A and B are shown apart, each in its own frame.
Chain A
Amino acid sequence: MAKRKQYDMKTPGTRELVDEIVHGTFVKEGTLLAFPTCFPGSSAPIRADESRITALDATFDGGVYGGTSGRATHLFVGMFHGVTGAVLDLGTVEGGTHCPAVCCGEKNFVAGVNGEKGGRLVGRNLQPLPFDLIQEWGFDRKPFDEMGAIGGGEPIVHMAADPQRKFAVGASSGHLFVVDLEEKEVETVGELGGCGQIGVDAEGRFLGMDEGDALWAFDRGTGKLERKSIQLPSATWDGVELRWARDPGDGTLYTADGGGRMFSYRPDSGWSDSLGQAPLAPVGPLAVTFDGRLFGFCGEEMARLFTLDEEGVRQLGGAASVFERRRYGYSFGAAVVGRDGEIIFGEEDELGHLWLYFPKIAPRQ
């Protein structure tokens, strides 16, 4: 390695460079706000080693449901609108240590939970809005409804809800299944070795990683599961556990290959060319906000926030929260779009927080 010359601290622009190194490392656009898994000042957060947030979903009215992994799985709901501002720990799922997915219906939510004894589904009715959480409140915990196992207890790999939130489609390590979110009933569709996340395309078909760099596709309307239905674009897919983000406006799906190259998919036009490369690989949780901008984290150990918009991919920096909770964010496991287009990231780390990201608003042209 070549020897370098010591920096001359009197160099013009040193102050600016120092500031850029110190502060410019962190998110440069928009605001990240870390919220603990509790009602601050009124309850304790989920224990550190039980609080890695690995699953998130949101209701139509902005409730954020999630699940944790670690020494125990907790299911929780975050409430951030009106006079709320709390994360309610709904309780632990007995024997659970990993939560790969939570899906919200209009009245209920369902979670996939894995543990030593295998995987299973649990659910509960949605948490009603509390009274004014500045004034007075009262919460209790209700037991979860046990909804059974898939294939005798195969680990649940992922689930995704349909855009109308009537049902969800999930994959275990051996089967594809459908969950009626109204009735909390489960129906096994067929054999399939699940891998990575499930996406929902613009026509409402459910897609997931299949063999041979292809996707399987499941149409709930016809009940048909088509193996190797869609060929993935030419890229690096070996060993990739797909992550998806769906544009809530037009249903465009986004994903990334093992090198962090971003692609979009639409049934009518197929795959895009590479839209750009995330600054780091692998690409982690992603979400698309209402104006079509995608935000996600990439990289291991110390993830970076990036965005994909009309101009391509840009790194936005590391995660830091300076409002009330002062915290760095290093690792993220889930993402969902909130009621008003903010992105909520689940921190997959000890003492995991929910990170609310409010993207930058572009100046009028």
Chain B
Amino acid sequence: MPEYSNQFKDHLAHPRNAGELAEANAVADEQNPVCGDRLRLSLMVESNRIETARYLAYGCPPTLVCGSVLTELITGKTVDEARQMTKSDLLAGVGGLPSRKQHAAALAIETLNAALDRLKVDS
């Protein structure tokens, strides 16, 4: 598996923040319509800050790992800070991905933004 970083392998073997949040106030479930990869993100936002994040993922390993890394990167961030997150930030967080797998990071950022949009609508 030479194309993946050590942090990638660590997140794949030991996913962080997996699951659902019953008390979530921002949830998004996005799918890549072409390949079928799916990411579900549930956030607990209090005082404009992401207190807790959980994810579920179906798809190739980069999608699973991007979900795990994303929840670590956004926990503790304000909503505005989270909105500033880019695909490049996430790619750096997973230790890089081969170009043919970078759509996984794009799906994760789309899911984050969709969840934050939902928070705006609900609050």
Are A and B associated in one complex? Answer: no
